[in-house]
Structure 1
Amino acid sequence: MKLQDALFNWLQIRIVAEARPDDRAAMDTRDFFEQILREDHHLSHFEVSRVDETMIHIRYTADGTTKLQMFDREQAEQLLADIEANPKYN
């Protein structure tokens, strides 16, 4: 899995896990992607550093270098919107 894909997947499920603190599956999936980021991509730190109207900024450290990756906010929040729109999951 490419780093950008892993970061985006982590971001999406992180948003879900924060919005649904009782959703154990969301937390387990978030932890899984955090493990991928640490073990496969050797990130020592990653966090949401800024959220504005259109973008979510992820700051991460790889091999001692801090970098920034931005994702479209609407796309990142789409998984949560899909889950909330499905009565099966509410």
Structure 2
Amino acid sequence: MNSIQDALYNWLTIKIVADARPDDHAAIETYELFDQILIKEHGVTDIKIIKDDTFYHLSYLLQDEPKKTRFPIELIDIMYNQIEQEPEKYKNYQKK
């Protein structure tokens, strides 16, 4: 993953889905993958999320240095909203 901004975007997008669908094994595995990318490739730890009316605000440590960023809610929630609108396209398959 090239940029930390992209990695954080992907991590947060799938985290929203995985948190809302705790039985969705694919979402949880994907979240864990992006979590490891943030830790191992970028040195990101201790992510905290605050959601207001417009943004998800993230604070985190980047190699022990405090950082902040934000993402528009509509941009992050797009995957979850799509799943909610068309659940028949996003079936949960059991782990084998």
CA RMSD of aligned residues (A): 1.1
State the 1:47 CA deviation.
Answer: 2.4
Question: Which stretch of the first structure deviates more once superposed, 77-86 or 9-18?
Answer: 77-86
Distance 1:54 1:44 in 2: 24
Larger-Rg structure: 2
Tell me the TM-score normalised to structure 2 length: 0.87
Unaligned runs of 5+ in 2: 92-96
Q: Deviations over 1:25-80 (max 9, x none)?
A: 000000000000000001122121x1001000011101221111100011100110
Distance 2:63 2:89 in 1: 42
Partner of 2:15: 14
State the 1:3 CA deviation.
Answer: 0.3
Tell me the TM-score normalised to structure 1 length: 0.92
Amino acid at match of 1:61: L
Partner of 1:58: 58
Unaligned runs of 5+ in 1: none
Amino acid at match of 1:29: T
Secondary structure of 1:40's match? Answer: helix
